[in-house]
């Protein structure tokens, strides 16, 4: 290893972990190094605070910063972009015995929100597309969720004044996240039958199989329920246009 590489490695160790031997000329060398180290650390705390605002608010600024600093030791930034820095944050929070109950679920929800926002764009299925289908095509139709849609199971969260927050409840709820055509991310709780139907779509179930599933809950009203769900999914832009293009 040449001298420059050794110096850069020492600087990195000092900035990331506060350790490592590095020689810097001048009586105030330690002070100058701390400026870099503190600025770097505060920047990463800020980045994760922007990625997890509800989690930050639930903990408070100082406690959140302390959690982030602990997280960064086993999960330092390793990519040129900090967009992926928080990818393991929710799982890490789940392993921390001093983290508030359910906090990891809130963090995971927020990370999935960001994933929905960044997801690959694709045309959505519209009402005229399905209206043009022949009646005999419906039973074998396989709908596909849009790439920006996310299904979440077993989350203990609540909506308070339009924002998602922790909920002190024992029964988890099921959620849907998606990005609309304007780039806004939305969420809502799902009834069990709708959640099961959307999961069935993800497993490549046909529309006929979807109706059969709904019939176990709704009996003779299954077709009406299926039509109601489909109408809402189309309005929300949850279905990909290739549901029809590929058949």
Measured between alpha carbons, how far is residue 196 from residues 21, 49, 200, 209 in Å?
57, 33, 6, 12
pTM above 0.95, yes or no: no
Other beta carbons within 10 angstroms of residue 64's beta carbon come to 19
Please tell me the predicted confidence (pLDDT) of residue 247: 46
pLDDT digits (tens, 9 = 90+) for 218-236: 999 998 999 999 999 999 9
Please tell me the predicted confidence (pLDDT) of residue 191: 93
For the chain, give percent helix, strand, coil, nearest 5: 55, 15, 35
pLDDT digits (tens, 9 = 90+) for 89-107: 999 999 999 999 889 999 9
Helix axis angle, 29-51 to 103-118, nearest 10°: 80
Ranges of the chain with pLDDT below 50: 27, 246-247
Please tell me the predicted confidence (pLDDT) of residue 5: 59
Cα four-point dihedral sign 97, 103, 109, 111: negative
């Amino acid at each position: 290893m040449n001298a420059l590489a050794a110096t850069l490695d020492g600087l990195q160790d000092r900035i990331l972990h506060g350790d490592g031997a590095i020689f810097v000329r001048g009586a105030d060398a330690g002070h100058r190094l701390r400026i870099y180290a503190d600025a770097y650390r505060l920047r990463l705390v800020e980045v994760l605070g922007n990625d997890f605002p509800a989690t930050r608010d639930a903990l408070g600024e100082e406690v959140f910063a302390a959690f982030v600093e602990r997280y960064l030791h086993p999960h330092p930034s390793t990519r040129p972009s900090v967009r992926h820095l928080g990818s393991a944050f929710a799982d890490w929070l789940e392993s921390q015995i001093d983290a508030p109950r359910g906090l990891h679920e809130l963090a995971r929800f927020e990370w999935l929100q960001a994933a929905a926002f960044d997801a690959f764009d694709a045309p959505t299925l519209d009402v005229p597309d399905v209206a043009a289908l022949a009646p005999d095509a419906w039973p074998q139709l396989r709908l596909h969720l849009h790439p920006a849609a996310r299904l979440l199971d077993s989350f203990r969260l609540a909506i308070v004044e339009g924002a998602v927050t922790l909920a002190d409840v024992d029964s988890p709820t099921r959620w849907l996240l998606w990005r609309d055509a304007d780039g806004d991310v939305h969420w809502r709780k799902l009834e069990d039958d709708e959640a099961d139907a959307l999961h069935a779509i993800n497993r490549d179930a046909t529309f006929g199989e979807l109706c059969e599933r709904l019939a176990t809950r709704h009996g003779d009203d299954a077709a009406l329920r299926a039509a109601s769900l489909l109408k809402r999914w189309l309005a929300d832009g949850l279905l990909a246009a290739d549901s029809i293009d590929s058949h």
